[in-house]
Amino acid sequence: MTKKMNKIAFFALILILLFSSANIIAQNGNVKEKTHKVGEKAEAVKEGNAYGKNKDELESKEFGKVQSESAKEKQKKLDESIQNGKNKVIEGKEKIKNSKEKLESDWKNKKITEQEYKIRKEKVEKAEKAIKTLEENIEKGEKVKE
């Protein structure tokens, strides 16, 4: 019974890690949009950032340097999160592959019941979907990076 609990906890941990990485990458790629109604038509207007209007007593050159450093830090964080996501995808795929092999061998050797087989197979499929979602979010993050 404890082995089952350990495996369930393990898959739950993988899913949590995958979704947290996916959320970080997705947040870095968000574009804010607002809709303003003009008469009966609605048109999408992208929000601007209005850089430079509130410089907090900084001169133009200093403000530019601060903005540049901020942009470099954001880019570095995005690069790190993309790399972490890629590593998690690789690890996750390997763990899923091993889990599938073990599941199939347990099923063939009659170590588990049909019900257990279906439950474990569902969990593996959920983990595969989470990995696929993470990969898509990484691709989106890479497109934003460019």
pLDDT at 131 over 90: yes
Res 121: pLDDT: 93
Helix (H) or strand (E) holding 116: helix 114-145
Pick the more confident residue, 115 or 13: 115
Pick the more confident residue, 7 or 96: 96
Cα 18 to Cα 2, 125, 130, distances in angstroms: 24, 14, 7
Q: How many CA atoms lie within 13 A of 67 on its CB side?
A: 15
Taking residue 113's Cβ as centre, other Cβ atoms within 10 Å add up to 10
Provide the pLDDT confidence category of residue 143 given band limits of 50, 70 and 90: confident
Res 119: pLDDT: 94
Res 64: pLDDT: 81
Res 13: pLDDT: 57
pLDDT, tens digit (0-9, with 9 covering 90-100), for 80-119: 888 998 999 999 999 999 999 999 999 999 888 999 999 9
pLDDT, tens digit (0-9, with 9 covering 90-100), for 22-59: 555 555 554 444 444 454 455 555 555 656 566 666 77
